[in-house]
């Protein structure tokens, strides 16, 4: 499996995202880890790539995701066909809720979220979501304390409070 990993906390790397997206050498890429900050332009480059059609695993910094950036990615077939999506570093409530409402992601079996601190409302949206029909593995780096698990469970069962 060919996988590309880049990491930086120093600056945004929209140009790196564009170069990755345009590289014909990455046509057989199966996994992509982009551990660097990007703006809307960087995410648009990734979304528009014709070379990522075989990508099955995407790892991205959650703190850089916005609802609009997720919409951009989710408009592509390659993103909707992911098997594994890893978000790290404080995915916002708005972005997490958007992900839950964008589906379906019919092949996504693994969703990992490091240090996600979603609100009770976000967990309710996740619990009611039909976006992840094949999900078999979900990991949240901080757990579901503070009433979040009970709230999500009630939302899933439709029992409300």
Residue pLDDT tens, the chain, 161 long: 555 566 656 666 888 899 999 999 999 999 998 888 888 999 999 999 999 999 999 998 767 788 899 999 999 999 999 999 998 767 888 989 999 999 799 999 999 987 667 888 988 999 999 999 999 998 887 555 445 455 555 555 555 54
Alpha-helical segments (H) within the chain:
14-22, 40-48, 67-74, 77-80, 93-102, 120-128, 148-157
Q: Residue 161: what pLDDT?
A: 45
Rounded distance between C-alpha atoms, residue 117 and residue 144, angstroms: 9
Q: Residue 151: what pLDDT?
A: 53
Q: Residue 139: what pLDDT?
A: 86
Q: Residue 154: what pLDDT?
A: 55
As a whole number of angstroms, the longest Cα–Cα distance in the chain is 53
Q: Residue 133: what pLDDT?
A: 95
Contact of 124 with 155, CB cutoff 8 Å: yes
Q: What is the CATH number of domain 3-157?
A: 3.80.10.10
Q: What are the boundaries of each domain within the chain?
A: 3-157
Contact of 129 with 98, CB cutoff 8 Å: no
Q: Residue 51: what pLDDT?
A: 94
Residue 157 neighbours by CB under 8 Å, 6+ apart? none
pTM over 0.75: yes
């Amino acid at each position: 499996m060919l996988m590309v990993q880049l990491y930086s906390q120093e600056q945004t790397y929209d140009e790196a995202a564009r170069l990755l997206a345009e590289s014909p050498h990455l046509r057989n890429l199966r996994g992509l880890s982009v551990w660097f900050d990007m703006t809307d332009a960087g995410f648009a480059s990734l979304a528009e790539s014709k070379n990522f059609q075989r990508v099955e695993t995407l790892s991205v910094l959650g703190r850089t995701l916005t609802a609009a950036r997720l919409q951009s990615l989710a408009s592509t077939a390659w993103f909707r066909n992911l098997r594994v999506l890893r978000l790290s570093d404080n995915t916002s409530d708005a972005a997490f809720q958007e992900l839950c409402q964008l589906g379906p992601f019919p092949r996504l079996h693994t969703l990992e979220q490091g240090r996600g601190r979603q609100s009770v409302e976000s967990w309710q949206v996740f619990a009611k979501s039909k976006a992840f029909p094949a999900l078999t593995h979900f990991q949240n780096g901080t757990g579901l304390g503070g009433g979040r698990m009970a709230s999500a469970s009630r939302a899933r069962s439709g029992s409300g409070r």
